[in-house]
Each structure stands twice: as structure tokens, then as C-alpha cells.
Structure 1
Amino acid sequence: MAKTTMIQTAFLGGEVSPKMLGRTDLKGYDTSTKTMLNALPFYHGGTKRRPGTFFHGEVRDSSFAVKLVPFIYSRTQSFLCVFNNSRIQFIKDGDFIETSPGVRYEITHPYTSDELNELRFAQFGNSVYFTHPNYPPKRLFRTGDTSWTFTDIAFVHRALTDYWYENANIRFRIISNSTTYTAGSTFTVTSPGGGGAATATFSGTGYGQMVAASKAGSPAETWTVTCIYADSQRQEWSVTGSVSGSMALLFKAGNYPAAIAFYQQRMFLAGTPAQPQTLWGSKSGSDLDITNFTRGPDDNDGVELTLASSSNDMILHMVPSPTDLLIMSYANEFVMSSTSGVYTPKTAIVKPQTTYGCNLVSPLRIGNAAVFIQRDGRRVRAAAYDLGKGSNTAADMTVTSEHITGTGVIDMAFQQDPDFNVWLIRKDGYLVSLTYLNEQDVIAWARHDTDGWFKAVATIPENNSDTTYVCVERLVNGVYKKYIESIDYVLKSLSDCTIFGASAVAKTTWTGLGHLEGKEVVIVGDNSNGTRKTVSGGQIVLDVAAKEVAIGLPYTTTIELLHPNPQVDGGTARGRQLSVHEVTLVVDTTVSCKVNGSPVAFSSIGQLADKAPVPYSGDKRLAQMGWGTPLNMKIEQDLPMPFTLLAVVMKVSVND
């Protein structure tokens, strides 16, 4: 019988796929787990009970879908925009902005519940710009906490030769010529009305040519088209006449762009139904130019490029990086780079990269990588430049945890502070976390459930850190409710949908719990540590009075280790019976936990029974666990109390 001592010093492999349980040869086997539920691996190596969530309020209408959009004006001023039922409401510093007590400030938006998942956005200064295939690009602009506007972008796209002008009555275009037009050149366009042929008369220097057609049922009218700028490459024209006309815009009903990004002082738009693989860049320069898409030969003129692709899939996303603009469609990934390092109409070029494709979830820029969801909705990839290969690669971050994303991801956000977590929402309502620190090769997955279903997620900077907000749908007293909650790193609740209460005098009755009516809640108070009560009439009654309480929904943290893999003579220990003589948990600021269902004693001798337990840091040695094959140690914590696991030591005997 061989005896050995094993230690798992880190949990940075996170939860691995059931398909990987036999891969004891993998480098990360000794730092991975079979189950990591409601626990967060952190980049130092250990793992802890995930923070609970803090309750902020119900959305405007819980029967409609919710989209959460960050608006970050500065490090000290950030807002969460809550899109729901044709309205946008705003959260600042954890509270819904109100115009008067109980009356939330809100503005309208045009998107239906089914359309919110195709909404794209990018921020520039004090504005967030939005695109959607069914609507004109829009601008969300803030001048004060209760002063917001959401309007169509006023594009400047001056008339160029070979571009159509039209209105309900007439359609015409100026045809480019080898002879240069000059400023002051004029066309007079005359329509006889009733759909008769329109005529065009040119006056000015150069040879003028125009195609014009009157539309059926149109009245008689006359337009004057005057050249207001001309050089060897382009002309710009103004239009006046008996009716108000405009150029047949590139972005119009049935042909709006799907993707948006800002890069090198330009607004980029891409992916219209008519030109799904074309992107357009605005003139560069001041913020007054980002809506001017006039093309031309000058370095600061607008840019237009079309992908050279074997498929015609629409561009869905564009992600800026330090060296290029990553362009992503359902089938391929490209980069737009420049021969000079600066994008101009002459130097911008597009190069194909990888062929994984993406889905509708907006990618995240994390360090030098763009994290995106592959088109199957399940694989998570990180696109970054590979110096050795001279191109971008897109590593699969779910290769050892392919199960973790379930049937697909519908939303995600990145919380840099304090734990470098990517939060992902699955279709089935699970919340998934990825502890991701690329420079330290940290990729650790975990799953998180709650009494309900996670629906949306977004992160904004608050309180010198990052706050991640989630929309959670909960069944409350027979009615489905959608709540806005935040992952609570500040008040440090360890229950979900939590509220806090304080009273100068200890009391047993606590109210304000209507959002959890009929739910069993768990309470942490002065003298109650994990007491459970059912909310009735919006209140609970404690057995022992308390001055301060945290009341929320319970959840269980579960960390199940992989089968021990001690090194023994004669080959592997797999398939043999193991005896674990002794287990030592190395913990930090921990109050309670269970190992294989048996509680671990943390209370000190002489500690008063009516006082809150004192968190323990150090080693906790447990009794013999017994023989078994397979043997998977399960560590659980079902109380809303601190729990941090740093390492597990096992003394193991292997039966020959």
C-alpha cells in the first residue's frame, strides 16, 4: 500500500468539462475542479463564495425584455441605462434617477423586446451612439442627470457625383465626367408632372450630364442643383427648388447599418442589407466631423471599404485595438489596418484573419484581446495579435470547459476591479464567470445560479471600482418580476436580491420586503447568522431582536474536487481504491463550510452562542474520509457567511 501527501494549491483551472475528467495528464488537472458553483476563483490562486446581489428595484414593465447599456462620462460620473418597454430609465450611484420621490425619470426609445438583442452601441464623449438594422443610427446625449435626448444622428453626407437624389416626386443623379465641374456649375431640373419625363439643363464650365425621372402622379416642379465645391476627385452640390429634396441617403429605411465603432477619431459604420460587408468611416478631426461621411482623396476624408470575402455575411461587430480595427461577421474575422499607421482613404486596407465567426453578443476589449462569442453561441474566443504568426489568432477559452456556456451565451460584460471577471448570461438563465488575466495565463470558469434567471448584464465604474449590474427574473408570489440587482462587492452581502436594514433600537419586525413576498429568505443580523424566515405581508419577524440586518435569498456554494491523482510506482492511481486518511483545508476569513455533507467546526472554545462567529484563517484538519473509487471531495457553504479556500491537503493511501 502506497502512501502520499497531495496538495491542491490553486483553483485556477476552474470547473472543467465532464469530458476532461480522465485527462490526468493535463497540466491544469491539479488546479481544476469538477464543480465550481457560486464560487469565484481569484487570480492569486484560491477561490471564495461569490458575492451576493443587492436589490435596486423592479424594471418599468417586467413583461418586456431588458437591455442594460453603460454610459461612462467620467470615473466619478457613470450611469446604467435600462432599456425596457419603449423607455430608458437611468441608474446613478445605485439609485434610479427620479424627478420627484417615487417618480423615475425616463425617455422613449423605439425598439421592441425582440429587437434589443441586435442593438449595438459605442460611446464618444458625452454621447452614446446606437445602431440597429431596423432604425436610423441614434445618439443618446446627456446634459444633466434629468436631461437626456435620444435622437437620430444628423449625418453630413454631401452630394457626390453618381449619387441619387430623390423624394416622393422625382429621382435624379449627376454623372461624373472627365471634365471637372467647378463651383457655381448649375443644373436646372424640370418635371412636367404626372410622371412625364424630366429634363435637365446644365449651365457652367465643363460638360454636364444628368439622369432624371419624374415619378408617377408627381406635380410639375423645378429644382436647381448648384455645385458648391469641386476638385479633381469630387464635387459637392446643394439642392433647392419647388419642393424640399435631399440626396438618396446611403443609410435609409431598409438599409441601416448594424455595427458601429470609434477609431482614430472616426465613426465607423458597417453592415447594411444592401452592402452587408462594407464599412464606412467618417471624416477625421474634431467631434463636429464624426457624422460627416463625405468621401474624397484627402487624408481626413471619409473612408469606404468592402471586405474581400468568400461569403456575404453581414458585418456584426467592430472592435478597436492598439494596432487595427477588428471586423467581425457571422462567418469571418478581418482587420482593417493601414500602410502608414493612420487610416486615410489611400492607406486603409482590409486583411482576412480567422474564420470562426461571431454571434450577436457584443465583444469585449480586455487588454490587448477582443473576447467574443463564436457563431455557435457556445465557444468563447480571445482574438489577439500573434507576433510569431504575424496575424491575429482567436484562442478558444472554453476548450477544457466546453460545457460551461450551456446552450449558448446571450450577454456578457467585463468587471476589471476587483477580480478580473467576465460575466456571461446563458440562455437558460445561469450566470457564468470567467476569471481572466491573460498576462498570468489565468482562465478559470465557474457557474452561478439563483432563485430565478439572469437575463442581462453590464458593468460601470463606481466607488473607485467596477459595479456589475444584472437583470434577474424571479417568480414572486406567483408573478414573474424582473429586478435590477448588482453583484455586491461594496456592502458585501452573501445572499441574493438583498436589502439592508438598520435601527437605533433592536427590533424583531423588519419590513420593506414586498419584492420577496412569499419567498424564504436568509437573515444575517446582530445575533442571527443564517436564520431563515418566509416573507409575509412584505415583512419578517425574527426570533431575536437585531439592530442591523441583511435579508436576501439563500444560495449554496459548491466546490467539488477532481478525483485525486497521486503519483505512485507502477503507473497511475486511477482505477485503484484510495483511502484519504486526513484532509486539511487552508482557509482565510471563513466562518463555516461542509465537507461531504459534514459540518466543519470553526467556532472557538468559549465563544458565546448569541454572538456572531469570528472568521477563521489558517488550517482546518478533518478526520479520515474512508475508502472509495471514485472519490470526489465536495466542499459546500450554504450560509450567507464568508468563505475563502486557499488550498486542500490530503494524505492518501493507494491500495495495490
Structure 2
Amino acid sequence: MPQRVVQPSFTGGELAPSLHKRSDLAKYSSGLKTCLNFFCHPHGGISNRAGFEFIVETKDSSKASRLIDFQFNADDTYILEFGDQYMRVIRLGAQVELASTPSAWASGTTYAKTDHVSYGGVNYYSKVDSNLGNQPDISPTEWYPLTGLVVEIPTPYLEAELFDIKFTQSADVITLAHKNHPISELSRAGHTLWSLDTITFGANVDAPTGLIATPSGMDDDDLTYYYQVTAVDEDGKESLPSTEASALVDSNWQVGEKVDLSWTAVTGADRYNVYCSRSGLYGYIGTTYGTAFVDTNISPDTSDTPPIAKDPFAFSGDYPGAVGYHQQRLAYASTTNEIEKIIFSRISEFHNLNVSFPQKASDAITMRLNSNEVNEVRHLISMNDLIVMTSGAIWKITSGDNGFSFDNIRAYPQSKSGASNMRPLAVNETVLYTLPKSGVVRDLTYTLEVDGYAGNNLSVMADHMFRGYSMASWAYAQEPDSIVWVVRSDGTMLGLTYLREHQIWGWHRHTTDGYFEDVAVISEGDIDAVYAVVRRTVNGNTVRYIERMHERIDDVVEDAFFVDSGLSYDGAPVTTLAGLDHLEAKSVVALADGNVVRDLTVTSGSITLPYSASKVHVGLEYECDAATLEPPIEGTIGRVKSASRLIVSLLDSRGLWAGPDEDNLVEMKQRYLEAWGDPTELFTGDVEIGIEASWENRGELFLRQKDPLPSTI
């Protein structure tokens, strides 16, 4: 008996083959057998992904590159290309270049770090401050040569180290951590002004100098008092103490006896704290806003002592490999010598690791995660608590409702699964991470029931995408469709449509004529732009391109961009399009004024269209496939069924093919009232497709988009 079957949603994504008979599962009714180059919308439909537009070739295509996002504010957002000992900058879909050729180098001029000059037809970047008299072409320590006008700075990171860099950002500064190098900060002063500097740990304010202690009115001098002074800035940040000064005083101190203290003023100091030692331990005796103080035998408060210098990251083997902010402190973790140790900076003094004795609440904190195994700290994520992900477990470090200080923080294990080295993603109040061995993706969020953190295995319904693979990198694009983009070790891009509050997660696969190697996302206007490093073979050569997923424009067919490594032309009608050197000898497809043009080959960087067009998108072709599961009709799973009629609800679509399988497809006909020569318009509504009935499968349906055109089902 004929039956009507409706699938109203595809939010379950592509399900693993092991689940293709599991019609009892809730996700079965919203799942797909295949979801290739389609993605799931959180509201239920699927669309073919937009194409990737070509941005630029990496500096050295023979080596891998890594993309890191950098957002200063809503307008100033960047993608940073880190390669073998260099960094370049991309902004709003274009490589950042100097506005013009810099001024010529002058031997008598002192240059600051980040200054640019030209010399001998080459542009240079100043690597140091106080750069005077160093001729650029023979001074590699002071000057770094550029390629044309391309903005670039040197870095210490080798190709093999790029994907082990951990980073965190505050305003216009990114802190970069790698165990092989001193921890550094990348700062931005403008689109073309970037500087990478090794962090110098210590107080923000210099210690006072020239301290003199002068006793007066003493009847005897049988006791020695010692003094130190610290400078304090207007934010309350305190320097290290001055060199101590001593004074011989009367052990039977009388009224009128005193010690006069004086010192040299410190730039940036708002006030000064004075400390005195009578028995080996310094204690606070007062504060002054000038550079003099009088001690009239004030009793030292030995619970308040001057800071003690501490720099635990001074030598190789002690460089931290993880970093993260939490409650106005910067946490550093996982050195080669002590992989389980975490050190927190002083409050609001991110480069200050100084302590006091006895310890103060604002002091730097050192802690170790004590467990049965010594596990490497890999990630530090700030939520309500600090989430610490190690190679063998996940912990929360909490201070409850109190301040985050040495005397009230506690560490509690949350999971024994551990995390891989790939940087976790913060998705609203949830953290996504991958397991260290299998690459399985899990989420983690606070649960009131257990007063801790727990989550779900997000890979279990699509485990075929993870078995035998590792995950190379990932990034989260919140707008417009809340998708996590994941680069797999074989060069496939996976997508996870994820909306935890509605219990939505569905996986989809994405391929191209090449291999995805890295992905990053940055806010650009009203969308989160997806950038990728793609390794391709062009004209017999291996090349690596940085490409950007185009906005999915599907309301005007002429604007549809559904080609990879593509470029666009918008101008007077032409038949020849140049500037395609990056696709030399490749077979490409074009959408010219809304019409599909095939059988094009790039020759000498150009293609020739069969007719003139004013708006053209040219690039590599890719097909998009979606296949349904066996209809969940009660009592029929596993039985042969035939589907002969298909009604598809479409939104702004054109060019879809459908059938019982990929070898028996019928094109959806939709040209109705368009004038002769005009492109077929996009269609919204229900369309019936007559497909050939077949008793050779179990009622599954196959849909394909072959053309560079939008399809939303």
C-alpha cells in the first residue's frame, strides 16, 4: 500500500552506517545517509556550502602554515598567517600591504621597532628599537627584508612548531606560548604595525634608588635597623624593593630620636611604601607621597612584607606551553621540566610573578595538579571556574564566591578522559574539545545537579567520520548558522551544526579539489568569516592557498558564488578574464551573468567565455550530495521499497537533481516566465520531481547539486 513519508528536518546531519537501521533513535527522523558539501541549518533545512574565494598563496607553498584569528574590536579584525619563522596579515579578505614604498634609509636616523624603510630596491622592517647606523642589507639582526609591500614580521617558530603554539588575547595583544621558546607577546599598533616581543617578567614600576637612612638624636647606637622602599603606581602596583639601607639606633629608643629616610623619585610612582627590618624579616611601617620618610620607632607589620623577585621562566626547559586569563590573572602552565605546574600572575599585573613572605592575596600563585599520574597541562579555559585540560584528566579550579588567591583556590577533577593538543573552542557557556587518542569531540558545560562540569559525546552518531583519523584544527562560526568547522587529518573539512540549548548537533562533510590543512574564523561585519589553508596541485606543482568561504548570497542568482579557489569579475561586459594564474591549466567552471559555463581551461592565467558577461565568478567545481535514510515506516526497515514521487520544499534554489541513487538522477525543471536570454531565476516553494521507480533499494532518495548555484532544501 502506498504511503506518504515526510522528513521535515535534517538537523541530525550525516549518521554513521552503523545507525542506518536504528529507526528507534530520535535523530534518525532528522538524519541523513550522506551530507557532502551541504550543511545543516539549526532551523532544520540544508544548503550547499558557498565556495572558497582565493585570497593569496602562502609565502612558501612547500611548507605548512597556520592561521590565527586576531580581533581588536568590531572593525579591526585580522587573520594572521604564521609560517616557518614569519607572520603575515590578512584583513577583510585581502593581504595587508604598506600603503606606499617607505622612505629611504638614512644612516643618521634612529629607527624604532616596526619602522619601515627602503634600501637598494628592497623594503625592510626594523626588528629593534634605537636602530641607528645599521645598513639594512648587511644588518640581519636589526633589519628584516620584505617581499614587495607585503606586511611581514619575523618569528622564532619553525614549521614543525606552528600547531603547538598556544595563545590567548587581551585587547590588541596576543600572548603566545611554546615550550621551545620564551613566552612572547604579539602587539598591534595599526594595520601595518606589528611587533613580537619576548616578555620580561617583573614589576611594572622601577624600584627606588639612592636610599639613605640617617639617624639623629640617638643616645646610643647599639642596634642596627634596615630599611627598604618600594614605589607604587596610581593603580596600586608595587615595585621590587630598593637596595637596603641601614642605620645604627638606640636599643632604648627615646622620644625625639628618629631615622630620616630619603631616596630618588621614580618615574610613574604615585606613592612609596616603607619597610623596616629589626630581626631579619621586613615589615611595613608606612606610606608617603614624597621621597622622604621619618621613622620614629614605628613597629613593623611583618604580615605585610615587600615583594620578592621571581622569574621561573628564565631558562630553556622552563618555558610555558600553555597560557590563559582568569579573574584578572594570566596563568602560565606546562613547562618541559614541570608539565603539571601552573603559575598565576599577580592580580592585573600579567607579567609580574613576584611574591611576598608571608604571602599576600594579590601575590602570584604556584600550584600543581596532584593525581595518580603526572599529566601535561594542555589548555586553560576561563569560565565561572578555571577549566584545566590535561593529557589525562579535566579539572576545575575554583575559588567559590571569594577572590582568586593562594589561600582559597581548590582543584577538583571533572573527567578522566583528558584532552588532545588541539585548542578547545568556547561556544557560549560551553567548551568543545577532542579526546587525546580517538579525536572524538565532546562538549563540557556546568551542571547544577552535580555542581560540576559534564557533557556529551558529539561524535557518537557520526563515528565513521572519526575512526582512523585525527583532527588537525577547528574554529567556530557563530553567525549565521552556528557551525564548528573541523579540518581532519586526511584533508576533509567536517562541519558540526551545534546549538546546545536546543539539543541540536549534526555533522556534515566538505571536500574540494585539494586538501584542507587549517581553518580559522574571524568576525567581519555581520558574519563570521571562515578562512582556510588549502593544499592544491596546480599545473603539476603543489601550492598552498589561503582562501575565504564566500558569504552565501542566494537571493540574486548573478551574485551566487559556488566555486572553490574562485575569483569574481564585476564590470563592463567581457569575454576574456585574466588574473587566474593561481589556477593555471586547471579545468574550471563559471557563473556568467547567472548562467553556468563549463568546459573552461585556464591558459596563461586567462579563460575565454563563449559570450560576453559583466558579472562572472570563476573557480574549481565541486558537487554537493544529500541522501536520505530508509523511510522509518513501522515494520518495513530492511525491506525493499520503491519511491516514485518526490516533493521538495526549496528556498532560493536552482539546478537540483534527484533520484533513487546517484546513477539515476533527474534534473529539476524550473524555468517558467523568464525572458529569452535571461538566466533562470531562483525558486522558492514546493516542487514535484518525477523519479524513476526502482525496487533495487529501500526507499532512500539521492539529491545532488552539480552546478555553481544555490540550493536550500
TM-score (norm 2): 0.77
* 1:79 alignment counterpart: 78
CA drift at 1:463: 1.7
Listed as ranges, the matches of 1:248-397 within 5 Å are 249-285=312-348, 289-296=349-356, 297-321=359-383, 323-397=384-458
- TM-superposed CA distance for 1:579, in Å, is 2.4
Task: Return the alpha-carbon distance in structure 2 between the equivalents of residues 269 and 282 of structure 1.
Answer: 8
How far apart are residue 632 of structure 1 and its match?
2.3
Q: Which amino acid aligns with 2:3?
A: T
**1:381-436 CA distance string (max 9 Å, x none):** 10111111221113110111112235010100000011101000001000010000
**2:476 paired with 1:408:** no
1:13 aligned partner, one-letter code: G
Structure 1 residue identity aligned to 2:382: P
Q: Which runs of structure 2 are paired with 1:618-629 in the superposition (5 Å)?
A: 618-623=685-690, 625-629=693-697
State the 1:236 CA deviation.
4.1
Letter in 1 for 2:73: S
User: Which of 529-538 and 248-257 deviates more?
Assistant: 248-257
Larger mean CA deviation between 295-304 and 370-379 belongs to 295-304
User: Using the alignment, how far apart are the partners of 1:605 and 1:458 within structure 2?
Assistant: 42
How far did 1:252 drift? 2.3
1:206 Cα shift? 3.0
User: Structure 1 residue 186: deviation in Å?
Assistant: 6.2
Letter in 2 for 1:325: L
- For 1:94, the equivalent position in structure 2 comes to 93
Larger mean CA deviation between 547-556 and 488-497 belongs to 488-497
* 1:7-26 equivalence runs, <5 A: 7-26=6-25
How far apart are the structure 1 equivalents of 2:503 and 2:568? Answer: 38
For 1:145 and 1:403, locate their aligned partners in 2 and report how far apart those are by CA, in whole Å: 43
Residue in 1 that maps onto 2:136: none
Q: Tell me the CA shift for residue 251 of structure 1.
A: 4.5
Distance 1:515 1:555 in 2: 18
Determine the structure 2 residue equivalent to 1:112. 158
Segments of 4+ in structure 1 off by > 6 A? 184-188
Does the CA-based 8 Å contact 2:496-2:506 persist in structure 1? yes
Cα deviation for residue 609 of structure 1 reads: 5.3
Rounded Cα–Cα distance in structure 2 between residues aligned with 1:7 and 1:416: 29
The change in CA–CA distance for 1:527 and 1:311 in structure 2 (over 3 A counts) is: closer
- Cα distance in 2 between the residues matched to 1:542 and 1:17: 43
CA contact (8 A) 1:182 1:205 kept: no
Could you tell me which residue of structure 2 aligns to residue 427 of structure 1?
Answer: 489
What residue in structure 1 maps to residue 586 of structure 2? 519
8 A Cα contact 1:181 1:235, kept in partner: no
1:636 maps to 2:695:
no
How far 1:230 moved relative to its partner? 9.2
State the distance in 1 between where 2:245 and 2:177 align.
36
| 1:151-189 Cα shifts (integer Å, max 9, x gaps) | 10111179xxxxxxxxxxxxxxxxxxxxx996488699x
Q: CA deviation at 1:127?
A: 0.3
Query: SS of 1:499's equivalent?
Result: strand
Q: What residue is the counterpart of 1:533 in the other structure?
A: 600
**Cα deviation digits, residues 293-344 of structure 1 (max 9, x gap):** 12343222212221122111110101111x1010001110001101334311
2:162 aligned counterpart, secondary structure: helix
CA contact (8 A) 2:392 2:419 kept: yes
Tell me the secondary structure at the aligned position of residue 276 of structure 1: coil
* Aligned residue in 1 for 2:199: 153
Counterpart residue number, 1:198: none
Distance 1:230 1:499 in 2: 71
Q: From 279, 291, 311, give the equivalent of 1:206.
A: 279
The separation in 1 between residues aligned to 2:593 and 2:18, in whole angstroms, is: 46
Question: If you compute each CA radius of gyration, which structure gives the higher value, 1 or 2?
Answer: 2
C-alpha contact (below 8 Å) 1:11/1:45 kept by paired residues: yes
Could you say which residue in structure 2 is the equivalent of 1:553? 620
CA distances 1:321-377 after superposition (whole Å, capped 9, x unpaired): 1x1010001110001101334311111111111011111110011011110111025
Q: 1:443 aligns with which of 497, 505, 511?
A: 505
Cα shift readout 1:484-514 (whole Å, capped 9, x = no counterpart): 111111665111111001232x221110000
Name the structure with the higher strand share: 1
Q: Which has the higher contact order (CA 8 A, sep 6+)?
A: 1
Alpha-carbon distance in structure 2 between the residues aligned to 1:612 and 1:277: 63
In the alignment, is the contact (CA less than 8 A) between 1:75 and 1:464 conserved in 2?
A: no
Code of the residue aligned with 2:610 in structure 1: it is D
Q: Cα distance, 1:628 vs. partner?
A: 3.0
> Does the Cα contact within 8 Å between 2:19 and 2:461 map onto a contact in 1?
yes
Q: 1:3 to 1:589 in 2, by over 3 A?
A: same
Distance, in Å, in 1 between the alignment partners of 2:632 and 2:312 is 66
| Aligned match of 2:658 | 595
Q: What is the distance in 1 between the residues matched to 2:63 and 2:710?
A: 36
Deviation at 1:465, TM superposition (A): 1.9
- Could you tell me whether the CA contact under 8 Å between 2:668 and 2:689 is conserved in 1? no
Greater shift in the superposed pair: 20-29 or 602-611: 602-611
CA distance in 2, matches of 1:329, 1:157: 30
Preserved CA contact (<8 Å) 2:50 2:552: no
Q: How many residues align?
A: 572
> Which moved further from structure 2: 35-44 or 494-503?
494-503
> What is the deviation of 1:255?
1.5
Residue 605 of structure 1 and its aligned partner are, at CA, apart by 3.6
Alpha-carbon distance between aligned partners in 1 of 2:326 and 2:509, rounded to the nearest angstrom: 35
Amino acid at match of 1:206: S
Counterparts of 1:98 and 1:387, CA distance in 2:
51
2:287 matched residue in structure 1: none
Structure 1 unaligned spans of 5+: 159-179, 189-202, 209-228, 239-246, 646-656
The separation in 2 between residues aligned to 1:115 and 1:230, in whole angstroms, is: 49
Within a 5 Å distance, the mapping from 1:234-249 to structure 2 comes to 236=307, 249=312
What is the TM-score when the length of structure 1 is the normalising length?
0.83
